[in-house]
Structure formats: C-alpha cells, structure tokens
Amino acid sequence: MEYAISGKKVSALKTDCLILAVDEKATLLPADLPAGTSSQIRQLIKDRDFSGKKNQTLLVSQPTDLPAKRLLLVGTGDLPLAPGAFIKMLSSAVQALKASGSRNAAWLLNDTLVRDQDVLWQVREGTRAVDEALYRFDQYRSKPATGSPLTNFTFIGEGSKAALQEALRQGQAVAAGVTLCRDLGNQPPNQCYPAYLTEQARTLAKQYPALKVSVISEAQAEKMGMGAFCAVARGSEREGQIIIMEYKGAKGAPVALVGKAVTFDTGGISLKPGAGMDEMKYDMGGGASVFGAVKAVCELSLPIHLVAVVAAAENMPDGRASRPGDIVTSLSGQTVEILNTDAEGRLVLCDALTWVQQKHKPHTVIDIATLTGACVVALGSHAQAVYANDHELAKALLDAGDDSMDRGWPMPLWDDYQEQLDSPFADMANIGGPKAGSITAACFLSRFTKEVKWAHLDIAGTAWISAGKQKGATGRPVPMLTRYLMDLASS
C-alpha cells in the first residue's frame, strides 16, 4: 500500500473514491465541496438513503460536480468522535472500499472530527487503521483469495505538509511493525519455532544496518546457568534460543524489551485441554511484538539505544520435559519449584530478564508476554495489564496506549500478594494458587527486576482474536511500545 499527503481541493481531486465523514445533519461537509455535491448528500439524507449513523457507509457512483469516480459517505454518529470510534469508522470505510473495486482513494481530513486529536493524529493512526483493515494472511493457501485492488491511499488536508508527512511516516512505521508482529503470530507452529525466529531477526539485521543480532543457544544457556529457561526448552526436539537484537541509535544505557516467545505451548506435563489448543501458537505474541517494535524503531531511525531480547522455546511433554515438583536454579541464583509446567512463560522470561540486566545495564526494562488466562478474565480483550515498579514508567506506558488506541490498565503489584509464591522447598514456586493469577505472575517476575526500573505487560487478552472471520494475531502491543519509545526519544 502506498500512502500520500495532498493539499488539493476536493473539487480538483481525481481519484477512484473520495471518502467523506458525514454526520446526521451534514455539518462536516467541507466549504470547498462543490454545491452540487453538497446538495446531493443532503438529498440522500433527506430521502433516508443515508442517515449518518455511526459506521454506516453509502457508495455513490459518479457524484455530482466531482472529478472523483465515486463518493463514499461514512457515518460518524455523535460528534466529536472518540479516538476509538474514529479507528472503527475508518475501518468500516476500508471494508466498503474493498468491495467497491477502487484502486486508489482519498480521505478528507477534518480538524474537528476527533475529540482532543488533531489532523496529525488522524493521519498517524489512520494510516495504521487502513493498513490493519487491509491485512491478509493467506500465504499457506494453495489458491489465495482475491484481495482488495486498493493500492494507494491519500490524506487530503490543509496545514504544514512537512508535519503531515512526518505523521504519515510515523504511521507507516508502526503499521509495518504491526504487520510483522501479526505475520509472525499467524505462522503455523510447524513453521514458526525458535530457529525460525532467529532467521527473522537476521533478516531484519540485513534490512537495517543499525541493528545487530546475536543468539544464545540452549546449550550455551545451560552452561550460563539459565536453569529456568532450559527447564521449558528441554522438552522439545527444537532447541530453545535467546535472540538479542541491539539497535544503537544513541549512546548511553539502553532501554530493554524482553518478549516471551513460546512458539507452541502444550502446557508440558501439565497438559492443556485439547479444545482450542491450536491457538497456543500465539503464545509467542510477546516476542512477536518485540520484533514489531524493533522494526518500527528501525523504520523511524529513533535516536535511542534499544536492546530487544526474545526468549524463544517450545513447551512440549517429552521424556526430558520438566515435571511438577522439579526445582531449578535460575540465572539469578534464585531457585524455583515448578508446581505447574504450564506456567512456563515466567520461567523463560526470568532468565532473560536477569541476563539483559547483567550484560547491558539498561535504565529501563519492559517485558511483554501472553502470560496468564487470569488476565483475560480480569480485562477481556480490550486492555493489556500494565504492572510496574515505577509510577512514571507505568504512566508513560498507559499514556502511550491511550494515544495510540492500544490501551492498557494499571494493575497492583503489592507485597501482600508475594506470599502466595512461597514454597517449602525452594526460594519460590512458579504459581501462586487460584487467586489473582495475573498479579502473582507479575510478582514472580518482580523478584528478578528489583534493581531496575521495570514494567510487565500481560497481553494474553489482546495479542490475538480467538474466533470468527477476524481470528488471528492483532499486532498488539506494538503501537503502545512504539509510541512509548518515540516519546522516550523525544524527551
């Protein structure tokens, strides 16, 4: 998809389809819209062919007095729109465009359309919304379904063209990161395994000279003392790998992203129920989001120092797999009693968290993981859980999520919950019982991040959609992470 910015008048714009956001009273119609077109739209409303209700669309062929071949009206409902409603409205417009046969289209910006957001925000987030609405994953179909013919999308508006171009560049970068995250998440587990992710990292490094990649093999991890990581990885014939991507766009201590990438999670000896187990290919969503954020950062050439660590393993129940009751020693020296082998994400993460602190001395560490079903129960699919040992870091992530419509919700990390992890035989257990499962998982990770500013994102509810036509990876929380890193770079 090619995107562009234009300051042309709509009366002179030649395009396959001009898209207009229209409310019930047609108050949003631009002043430079030809009188004949305005009259035509008002007549359509009067005749009740179009109401302007939220997300309603109407395609008008050969609109009056316009050089555009088609006019697509998209209803706004109440004004101004909430940011999330804007994204949904634009997605509805793209669905109508896909059916129209249009090869190129133009969206007319309006500074009063979205509550508390200007046209720069509309361009940035609109670019991502269009890209996400057009996304397809059909590389494994013998005969791929016919996709949308749409290849060009232009934003029409007044203002600083340089500022609009920069907003567009940012939107395209985040969209590219989201697409990579979705592509990795949607890969079947017989194709996407730890070594495959390593190949993807090396491919990124070839595309972006500022990115350097290194790998810790499972054998090396065992020699280094990563007993927790290896306890998960050893049950699979496919070796676990810890993938490190370092982007050095600035000097000084780095910010670190650490992603859980369990490329398939059977639950291990604590085997999961069979129903829906195909979705356990998405258990590498945290690692996929790290890949997406790295790509976006490279596209934007952000002036930051970033170290991204992806802890990749398969959790399989073979004869070498860890058992409930096993005790392992983590890289930090702390011992863990494994009471449930399906609580494996925190095991691969804790050694990766320790390693990145020992090796790179980051000023901030953020880990991302599809960690607990309890998080899905608590927050559903709308918000990822945000835990942090630093108030300002939590606020920065939450603000980034609000701005990018990739929202999070603050969760408690109180010492009161820590005792649920007590073990009679080791320093801690890897589960904290049936209550507050997402919180105790975060408490577990907090024991490996006491000396650094740290946040944990539990994305079990947001990383993928489970059913229906939309089933698949969402690309979250790439927008939140990228917005946070952009804000960090600008500060």
- DSSP-derived secondary structure letter, 376: H
Of the residues 124, 346, 447, 483, only one is catalytic, namely 346
**Burial class (CB within 10 angstroms; exposed 0-12, middle 13-18, buried 19+) of 99:** exposed
**CB-CB contact of 216 with 242 (8 Å):** yes
**CB-CB contact of 207 with 298 (8 Å):** yes
* Whether 346 is catalytic: yes
- DSSP-derived secondary structure letter, 200: H
**CB-CB contact of 449 with 370 (8 Å):** no
Structure tokens at 480: 């939140």
Please give the Cα distance from 77 to 93 (Å, whole number): 14
Of the residues 54, 202, 272, 453, only one is catalytic, namely 272
**CB-CB contact of 214 with 307 (8 Å):** no
* C-alpha closest to that of 228 among 332, 125, 100, 130: 332
Please give the Cα distance from 144 to 468 (Å, whole number): 19
**CB-CB contact of 215 with 242 (8 Å):** yes
Q: Is 268 left (phi over 0), alpha (psi -120 to 50) or beta?
A: left
* Whether 272 is catalytic: yes
Which residues are tagged catalytic? Answer: 272, 346
